[in-house]
Structure 1
Amino acid sequence: MAAAAAPDHLFNLRNNLYLGSYQAAINNSDLPILSSEDAVERDCLVYRSYIALGSYQLVINEIDSSAATPLQAVKLLAQYLSNPHDKESIIASLKEWLADPAIGNNATLRLIAGIIFMHEEDYSEALKHTNAGGTMELHALNVQIFIKMHRSDYAEKQLRVMQQIDEDHTLTQLENAWLNLAVGGSKIQEAYLIFQDFSEKYPMTGLILNGKAVCCMHMGNFDEAETLLLEALNKDAKDPETLANLVVCSLHLGKSSSRFLSQLKLTHPEHILVKRASSAEDSFERAVQSVA
């Protein structure tokens, strides 16, 4: 008989991170005796949850230079996100580590590299480090990168790999939903059902609410979308995706979106919607000047 698989002590912790229950991930991270490898992964998941909550400095302060490679990679992500003026030297350090044969192939380091290069919109560089896969998170990030590149055909191939490994995995389901949203049309309803399933199985998070709301907007149900987004805003008043989606939703409902856009400008000045709005304002100003 085949030996039973060892229990996955980190399952709930991972799931909380994937679904956006960051505080729950942190609060429930005091787990029974873990192997040293699992303990490092647990700490990575907890620190990534802190990063998702914007507590960059805590992560930078707590991970010292003697920590394991995966933790050093997570610290680098916190430094990258907290210090927009020092991105060049942080990316230089990252490239140095990736070129080091001793640590360059570490799955967490490759994942963080993919995330950072995705932020930089350097998708080919991101894929250099993520494309080989090796973990469900790396496969999931590949799907995200291909969606960003408008290559839903490649994203679909990656999703099929994930489905072959574990069709019911939270990340497989999530990437299926995001890909359905990217493809659009009749796939929107399928995406909605995945988010609906999550909302019945797990505590409601901003990520699930935003997913459902975007599906609703695609289907023209802007009133329902607004209700979901306001619920998400109650959970996190500074979440950039919630604010951006509320701007779009309000415009479709004929309501003022200026308050949500102002909040987004204050908390996330680099957000693509803020940049587009500023660019539109500049164009308008130039047009006014030219006829004045």
Structure 2
Amino acid sequence: MAAPDLLFNLRNNFYLGAFQAAINNSDLPNLSPDDAVERDCLVYRSYISLGSYQLVINEIDSSAATPLQAVKLLALYLSSPDSKESTISSLKEWLADPAIGNNPTLRLIAGIIFMHEQDYNEALKHTNAGGTMELNALNVQIFLKMHRSDYAERQLRVMQQVDEDHTLTQLTSAWFNLAVGGSKIQEAYLIFQDFSEKYQMTSLVLNGKAVCCMHMGNFDEAETLLLEALNKANDYFRLCMELHSDYMPWTKQDAKDPETLANLVVSCLHLGKPPSRFLSQLKLSHPDHTLVKRAAAAEEGFDRAVQSVA
């Protein structure tokens, strides 16, 4: 009989965006050394997802295992625009080191960082070999970013052959179905609905359901789901301020989830409601978001057109 997977619930919480729950329920007894490292990686990645970069940077020292050092690189990369260049340089050095360059967590972090850089070919150099469900799921995301749904589908089939019921396989199926569109949207919605019935409702699941609703033209339902997601983000903010106020850079990055705000802007436009409040929040908290850049480009284009006829 196979040994029980002691990290199952922790992984599930992380995959579905229940980051504070992952942190709160991470004190697991009787872990092997390898499982203990994976547990710590998931906990620190949860802190990163909550914006607590400095806690991760402070707590992972130079003696930590390679997977933890990789997670620290991600925190360094995200903590400040000024640190990105040096972090990428360090990352490339580590990837070139034959002793650690093939470490799955290091390759995963490399894929995440190069995806942030929109250097998808470089990301695939390190993720394409797969080896873990997270690497396979990241490959699907990269291929979808590259508008190569054919390659994404092949990678999804690999995941389904390994474990069709795995949370990441189901989540990746939903991403793929949303990208393909058409009749697949309903299938994606059912996956998110199943998650919401089985597990804690999170911003990630609510946004997934909301995007499905928008694709199906149900903007009222989408708005309700997104406002619930925004309330959950505010609850996280208050809790994190109580628990980790020394580390949280909330003056720069507050609890407003960028995808929730962006999706609210879109739903408001389709409902004929003014989106200015949500767009202003997005501009303040995430000025580099794609929607903010597009809005700025549209405003500049409009201003130039007005000046040309003035």
- Mapped to 1, the partners of 2:165 and 2:299 lie a distance apart of 45
1:269 to 276, 287, 292: 287
1:1-292 correspondence to structure 2 within 5 Å: 4-237=1-234, 238-292=256-310
Deviations 1:45-99 (A, max 9, x none): 0000000001011101111111110000000000101111221111010000000
- Letter of the aligned partner of 2:93 in structure 1? E
Deviations 1:186-209 (A, max 9, x none): 100000000000011001000000
- Letter of the aligned partner of 1:191 in structure 2? A
Structure 1 residue 7 displacement after superposition: 1.2
- Letter of the aligned partner of 2:25 in structure 1? N
Deviations 1:133-175 (A, max 9, x none): 0000000000000010010000000000000000000000000
- Mapped to 1, the partners of 2:11 and 2:81 lie a distance apart of 28
- Letter of the aligned partner of 1:97 in structure 2? W
Q: Which has the higher contact order (CA 8 A, sep 6+)?
A: 2
- Mapped to 2, the partners of 1:241 and 1:174 lie a distance apart of 17
Deviations 1:233-267 (A, max 9, x none): 00114101100000000000000101101111111
- Mapped to 2, the partners of 1:80 and 1:275 lie a distance apart of 21
Structure 1: where are the runs of 5+ without partners?
A: none
- Letter of the aligned partner of 1:118 in structure 2? M
SS of the residue aligned with 1:180?
A: helix
- Mapped to 2, the partners of 1:125 and 1:207 lie a distance apart of 27
- Mapped to 1, the partners of 2:75 and 2:304 lie a distance apart of 38
- Mapped to 2, the partners of 1:57 and 1:279 lie a distance apart of 33
Structure 1 residue 286 displacement after superposition: 1.2
SS of the residue aligned with 1:133?
A: coil
- Mapped to 2, the partners of 1:282 and 1:17 lie a distance apart of 40
- What value does the CA root-mean-square deviation take over the aligned residues? 0.6
- Mapped to 2, the partners of 1:7 and 1:61 lie a distance apart of 33
SS of the residue aligned with 1:242?
A: helix
Q: How many matched pairs?
A: 289
Identity %: 85
Moved >2 Å (runs of 4+):
none
- Letter of the aligned partner of 1:81 in structure 2? L
Structure 2: where are the runs of 5+ without partners?
A: 235-255
What's the TM-score, normalizing by structure 1? 0.98
- Mapped to 2, the partners of 1:265 and 1:17 lie a distance apart of 27
- Mapped to 2, the partners of 1:137 and 1:239 lie a distance apart of 22
